[in-house]
Amino acid sequence: MKQLWRMRSGSSGSMAARLLLRSASRAAAAVYSRQPLPAQAPVRGLASGGIPSDDEQATGLEKIVLEASKKGTDPYNILKPKEYAGSKQDPHIVPSITNKRIVGCVCEEDNTAVVWFWLHQGEAQRCPSCGAYYRLVPHELPH
């Protein structure tokens, strides 16, 4: 069973790596190498080579996303969400910035009829069609 608010993602790996590798892998026409993974490559900054690094110069939302990925969080849901069993013990965790959020449940794979319902804060609710458990969890946006 899948939920429609989930995104698709590429390969596994560290979060920062996935963020940059996915975008870097688009360089189909380019013969040469990809951008280095910030967590691993020893990138010299403004002081030595003369070209700033993202750590030094990123600003705005890009900086917020970068800082969060270094901490291992994904506040803007860039990556594919975690898979849950959907049982009472392991409900689907639905982050929300308010106290309710719409959920679309694709009860079985390839179902074309999506079951939509409001999920409210508090106890876990069940999908009216397949009975999977969903729980709303408050989600803070870095501002």
Partner 1 sequence: MAHQAHAYHMVDPSPWPLTGAIAALLMTSGLAIWFHFHSTMLMTLGLVLTLLTMYQWWRDIIREGTFQGHHTPPVQKGLRYGMILFITSEVFFFLGFFWAFYHSSLAPTPELGGCWPPTGIIPLDPFEVPLLNTAVLLASGVTVTWAHHSIMEGERKQTIQSLALTILLGFYFTALQAMEYYEAPFTIADGVYGSTFFVATGFHGLHVIIGSTFLAVCLLRQIQYHFTSEHHFGFEAAAWYWHFVDVVWLFLYVSIYWWGS
- Restricting to residues 9-38, name those near partner 1 by CB under 8 A: 19-20, 22-23, 26-33, 35-36, 38
Contact track, partner 1, 95-134, x by CB under 8 A = --x-------------------------------------
Which 8-state DSSP code applies to residue 142?
Answer: P
Asked if 40 interacts with partner 1 (CB under 8 A), we say: no
- Restricting to residues 51-70, name those near partner 1 by CB under 8 A: 51-54, 56-65
Give every CB contact of residue 106 below 8 A, 6+ residues apart in sequence.
Answer: 1, 2, 3, 4, 114, 115
Please, what is the minimum distance in Å from the beta carbon of residue 49 to partner 1? 3
107 assigned to a ligand binding site: yes
Give every CB contact of residue 112 below 8 A, 6+ residues apart in sequence.
Answer: none
C-alpha–C-alpha distance, residues 94 and 58, integer Å: 30
Characterise 113 by phi-psi region: left (phi > 0), alpha (psi -120 to 50), beta (else): beta
Q: What is the end-to-end Cα distance of the chain in Å, rounded? A: 34
Asked if 45 interacts with partner 1 (CB under 8 A), we say: yes
Pick the closer one to partner 1 by CB: 76 or 118: 76
**Which backbone phi and psi does 136 adopt, to 5 degrees?**
-80, 135
Positions in the binding site for partner 1 (CB under 8 A)? 19-20, 22-23, 26-33, 35-36, 38, 43-46, 48-54, 56-65, 76-78, 97, 139, 141, 143
